[in-house]
Structure formats: C-alpha cells, structure tokens
Amino acid sequence: MILNAIKKTISDYGLLHGGESVLVALSGGADSVCLTHALCAFKDEIGITVSAAHVNHGIRGEEADRDEEFARQFALSLGIEFYSVKLDIPAEAKESGVSEETAGRNARYAFFDSLCRRHGIDKIATAHNKNDNAETIAMNFIRGSTVKGLGGIPRRRGNIIRPLLDVSRGEIERYCAENELEYVTDSTNLSCDYTRNKARNMLIPLIEREFNSSFTETVTKNAVLAAEDSAYIDKTARAEYERIVADGRAEIKELISLDAAIRRRVVYYMLSEASGTKDDIGAAYVKSALSLAEKQSGASADFPHGVRLRNEYGFLVAEKRTEDTNPFECTLKSGENYIHELNAVVTLSTADERGRDGAVYLSAGEDDKIIIRSRCAGDIFYPCGMTGSKKVKEYFINEKIPRDKRPLVPIIEINGVIAAVGKRVDRRFLFTDKGIKIDFTEIREVEA
C-alpha cells in the first residue's frame, strides 16, 4: 500500500518527526495531490502539521490560473493552510540570463523558504517520485556526472524532503483513482521543449522498450548504492578539507598528495565555499582548478559566481573576485589622516627617539613634503639591510606578498623620493636621533 511505503521512507530517512510542520509544494498535478492527501491521511498518527503552497509561473495564462484555483480548493477541502504567489518567470529568466526551468525552480524555492521563515514551518515537501529520480539519473549520466550525480535526487537536502521517492508514477495515479482524487495536467509536460520532458517522453520509454523494461526500478536501486558510496567519499573528503584548507588556502603539496577522488572533492569544496553556492560547479571547473595547481606561482583563473583561483607561493587560493583597488595618493598632514583605500587612519608626528611599537620611523623634518600612495610602475627604492637598489615589484615578489595585496602596500614618499615600502625603510631615510613617526591604525580599531 502506498501509504505504508511513504511512511517507511519518512521513518527510514528521518524526514519528519512528531511536532514538526511541513509545507507541501502543491502544483495540482497527480504527484503533489497524492503527497498532500497522504500526509494529511496520517498527520495525526505521526503528529505533524501540514500546509500547502502553489506558484503560478505566469507561463500558461488561463491554464495556470486554473491550476492555482484548483490547488486552493483542494487544500481547502483538506482543511489545511494554503499559500500562493503569481510570478512572471519568463521575464525573470530573461533578466537573470538563465533558462525558464532554472528561473522557475529558483523562484519556487525562494517562495517556499520565505513562507517557512514567516510562519515557522520546519520542512518543505516536494512530490518527486521514483520516475523523476530515474529521469534525473539518466540526464546526469548523459551530461557527464560524478558518483554523487548518479545517486539521483536526495531524499533530504537541508529542510527539503521527498517522501515519494520510493513510489512510482503508476502507483501515484492508482492512489488518486482509488481515493477519487482529481488533479490537473500541465500541458507543458507533454512538450519536448524542456530537457526533462525529453527524458520523460522520449528517452526513458525508448530504454524500457528496447533495452530494459525494468529500467526505472533498476536505476533507482543502483542509485541507493551510489548515494551511499558518495556519502562515504564526501565524509572522507570533508575531513581532509578541514585538515588542509584554511581561509580558502590549501598547500599544493598537501592537495596533490591526496587520492584523486578526494582531491577533486576538496577543490570542489574550495570553489563552493568561496562562491557561497554549489550551483554550476561541475567536473570541468574542478579539473581546470586542479590544473592551476600544476602551474607556476602567479597563475590565476576565474570561475562561476565571481570566484578567482590563484596559484600563490605553494598555495592554491580560492576567493571572491574584488574590483582592482584604485591608485591612491595623499599628502600627510601632522596628526590623523584617513586613507579611504586602506580603510585606515595614518598618524604623522615628530619623534625624538625610535620606539618599538610597529610604526615607521624616518629621518625627515616637519617641513618636508610627505606623501603616502600606492605603487607605480618603475618604482625603485634602497631597502635597509640589502645592497643596491630594488624594484618595488621585485621586492613584492621576493617577499611573497600576494598579488591582490600589493596595491594596498603603502609607499611613503618624502620630497619625491621613496622613503619606505610598507614598513621596509629606504636606508637613505634611516632614523637616527630625530625625525618623524608614521603609524597605521585600521579604522575599525579606532571606532571601537
């Protein structure tokens, strides 16, 4: 019996617990009607509260409005709360530059999440079934997928649960017939304009007709094994990620010493953590990131969601791209000077002796023109403790100062001559018994 199958999935995977509330994504189709009705049938038995939500995508005109009204009346007949929203998905897809499928999915989950936050709802239940899972696995295989992708649709992801994944579409339709449940049919499901519909209407029937009549059953059983294998590998990879990655930086020697399967996942975690999302980070990007680790220091590459990966002095660094820092220059006055680009207060004062407080002490007088600026091409100085002159660019490279930090290393110039680079003093301005003191303080410390 289908109710027992649903309850078993809920129990085996801990999808719902007594006292929790669940929001069903109710499209009005057979799958969501079945799920909503089934949860309501045993909600008192397991002690849950059920509500439903519908998204009108604004794609099918009157048909979409009909579906919304059907869902509303169905929820009303079950005595549960109902929420709906009408959107213009084609316009959102065009504006965001994604497919209507992607825009619709993003909008649905955004709406469901907002309802959960607003009404304190614990879980979101979607009506994906065994056939949907088979279609997803087939599409993932064709596109080129990892073991994780071959594990199919997860029964749980965060607060999203799928209680129907062990039930076939045929069983769902029989349940609706036995319980005299009406449902609506989305006309776009019959079109092959969408990738999933091609898999559903063309690919799967061909496989079952010509190669394996039990393909859906076979592939979903194999998916359980693939998901278990993937979970174990992910657990191992996550432990290695925590061990070798800190602040988005992984020592390349440590990274390449890992087994290939673990190494790929560690890099995937680096990219997803830096981007803040797991979307669009496919195997090709992970491969590209790993190839960067084999290049010379200084190599970099850009990835989706504004992420930049750099090979930097033996480390692979993943970070969000930032706009290049604008060149800056400021003539220092006695007292406090706020430098916007450095987000710091630079204090200029006279000094009769050199302290050990981390400030820069230079031989100069109050009447000298003292400038703080960013590096310019061709800058040269005579660093104390070194012989001869040194190009500032070469100094940065030798000191292994990250490329993205170099524009923020202040150059102190006195009467048109470089006197210090950061805290490295030019030996021509070495402090003796009297001069100036330049102190840097981050603005947040001043405000505190």
The verdict on residue 132 lying in a domain is yes
Number of domains the chain contains: 3
The verdict on residue 345 lying in a domain is yes
- H or E segment at 25? strand 21-25
Q: Are residues 383 and 402 in the same domain?
A: yes
Where a domain ends, among 259, 294, 320?
Answer: 320
| pLDDT value, residue 354 | 84
pLDDT tens readout for residues 378-394: 899 999 888 889 899 88
Q: Are residues 302 and 197 in the same domain?
A: no
More confident site: 193 or 395: 395
Please state whether 385 falls in left (phi above 0), alpha (psi between -120 and 50) or beta: left
Q: Strand order of the sheet with strand 123-125?
A: 81-86, 49-56, 21-25, 123-125, 160-161, 156-157
Q: Are residues 341 and 435 in the same domain?
A: yes
Question: Residue 138 pLDDT > 70, yes or no?
Answer: yes
* Phi, psi angles (nearest 5°) of residue 366: -65, -25
Alpha-carbon span 119 to 123, nearest angstrom: 11
Q: Are residues 255 and 215 in the same domain?
A: no
Burial class for 56, CB neighbours closer than 10 Å (0-12, 13-18, 19+): buried
Q: Are residues 7 and 46 in the same domain?
A: yes
Q: Are residues 298 and 334 in the same domain?
A: no
Residue with tokens 């949860």: 39
The verdict on residue 356 lying in a domain is yes
Alpha-carbon span 244 to 252, nearest angstrom: 9
pLDDT band at 446 (very low <50, low <70, confident <90, very high): very low
pLDDT tens readout for residues 277-336: 766 677 778 888 888 888 877 788 877 777 888 888 888 888 876 555 578 888 998 888
| pLDDT value, residue 325 | 56
Question: Residue 339 pLDDT > 90, yes or no?
Answer: no
Where a domain ends, among 295, 320, 345?
Answer: 320
Token digits for 90?
């084609």
The verdict on residue 279 lying in a domain is yes
pLDDT tens readout for residues 52-107: 999 988 777 788 889 999 999 999 999 999 999 988 888 877 776 777 777 888 88
Q: Are residues 33 and 161 in the same domain?
A: yes
Average pLDDT score over residue span 25-45: 95
Domain residue limits at 301: 247-320
Alpha-carbon span 393 to 374, nearest angstrom: 12
